[in-house]
Structure 1
């Protein structure tokens, strides 16, 4: 007998009284109803708990207690989930319309070997300032992770994926989801699929928005990722970093202005790259020196 897949949606929160109600309502308004909704709160001391409790009858799990950060809370959500697929929607993000989960489930049902399905997201600073972020096809994920990210707000993972690659590393302040995605991308046995569908609106300004912390942790992850130590991926990383030096276009918070291409840019970029492995820094040293001499 056919059984509809159960989708576990996990929202982690901490002092989110201004945004969490919109998050919750975007889940409760979904046309697909076989949803297990889990809210993990880090013992908020504002009005978050009062708002969540208004919807307590619609929640499968609600926990409010101290934790060790966002990835600790996300792992707590995983351990309390019983869904076939798990999805994370942070407390300042929301699903873009009421048919998101229905459309994703339709794709899953048509793709029986699917273990990861991901779509696109909307990034926003506020309601008037937002833009589309399109995700790459599966074969381009490792290239994307050199200087970018795969967004958990657009990712649905089969519960078995966490058994294969493990949970989020709780030692990270910013890139626990990045490191997890790199483990997923490095495993060719995990069947990954891209669906051209905007899933959620993502607030730029959360825990991962501190660019200096994020880059330091991202480079540490890359330096220790076995797949990126091969000759091919080392050269590809150098190529990507060289392109950013030539024309950053805002990547990593860097811009080059015609009248300001001087030592100030050199020092800013050098600081951004300070946590690269030594061989990569040496490969980029000549390029950076040319900029510093201008």
Structure 2
């Protein structure tokens, strides 16, 4: 079974070598490795060239962003399954692909396989690493409400899915993968499997440079998912957004106690809270006449009490 691994990169001289090595040193050898470089201006192309004998296809040219580059890789891929491994990341160990192929062979109807992620945190916050457990298949819709659903490097896509569901929508600059996952959950006939294994290591390099834009795209996509427009899921979305606001506020409180250099993250976090509060207000209006309004009033009272406690504590 041929596996295609696609690395999209640009000006990645500090990390690209470890990414490449994590692929070419896999014990499983039927790997097609494709590197799509966005015409880097640093030493990225030189580093890639050192491994050209181990890389199946190398493309280096200007592009219109991450998702155009990923789509370019999909068009070039000839493997049965496709994995996207970004240039700040690397496969967790040398047996990842071999183990994934064994899992797929044991589940021949598998079309979408995903596993867990080793997280390397921003050193400004703390130095401990952790493993992020992906949601189980039945929990995927709720996991989509707020935050990451899957991290790309932890997924192996059956190549046929890009024919069935289409490519990444390049109209989205930040969340095209999220929009693709929205299409996935709308097709209940697709066989989705969770593999309880750490697949890759992901660097949490920091908050998005434009958090408001990220959340705006995510909420726009949610509003296009029919499932999420029902009364039950609107209430679920409100509940999750409230929890998100509380978590962010508590995180800011922790940062405020740390050294001055770490406080640069606070303004970005506050922007995220503002964006979530706006969406929360929009959803509140949407359920004003619901029969569950008594439940909402109780939860809103609890939320205000929690906020008052938090402010008093500060």
Check whether TM > 0.5.
yes
Structure 1 residue aligned with 2:27:
31
- Determine the C-alpha separation between the residues in 1 that align with 2:47 and 2:177: 27
Structure 2 residue aligned with 1:237:
237
| Deviation (angstroms), 1:172 | 2.1
Answer whether contact 1:266 1:292 (CA < 8 A) is retained.
Answer: no
| Deviation (angstroms), 1:282 | 6.4
Change (3 A) 1:206 1:64: farther
Aligned length: 283
Change (3 A) 1:237 1:105: same
The alignment status of 1:279 with 2:278, answered yes or no, reads no
Structure 1 residue aligned with 2:163:
163
TM-score by length of 1: 0.86
Q: Which runs of 5+ in 2 are unaligned?
A: 258-266, 288-295
Structure 1 residue aligned with 2:196:
196
Change (3 A) 1:233 1:37: same
- Determine the C-alpha separation between the residues in 2 that align with 1:30 and 1:133: 22
The alignment status of 1:78 with 2:82, answered yes or no, reads no
202-211 vs 85-94, which deviates more?
202-211
Change (3 A) 1:204 1:266: closer
Change (3 A) 1:108 1:216: same
CA offsets, 1:200-221, max 9 Å, x none? Answer: 1111127956433321211111
Structure 1 residue aligned with 2:113:
117
- Report the 3-state secondary structure (helix = DSSP H, G, I; strand = E; otherwise coil) of the residue aligned with 2:188: coil
Structure 1 residue aligned with 2:93:
97
Q: Which runs of 5+ in 1 are unaligned?
A: none
Q: CA RMSD of the aligned region, Å?
A: 3.0
The alignment status of 1:181 with 2:185, answered yes or no, reads no
Change (3 A) 1:207 1:126: closer
- Report the 3-state secondary structure (helix = DSSP H, G, I; strand = E; otherwise coil) of the residue aligned with 1:57: coil
124-133 vs 72-81, which deviates more?
124-133
Change (3 A) 1:280 1:170: farther
- Determine the C-alpha separation between the residues in 1 that align with 2:98 and 2:7: 19
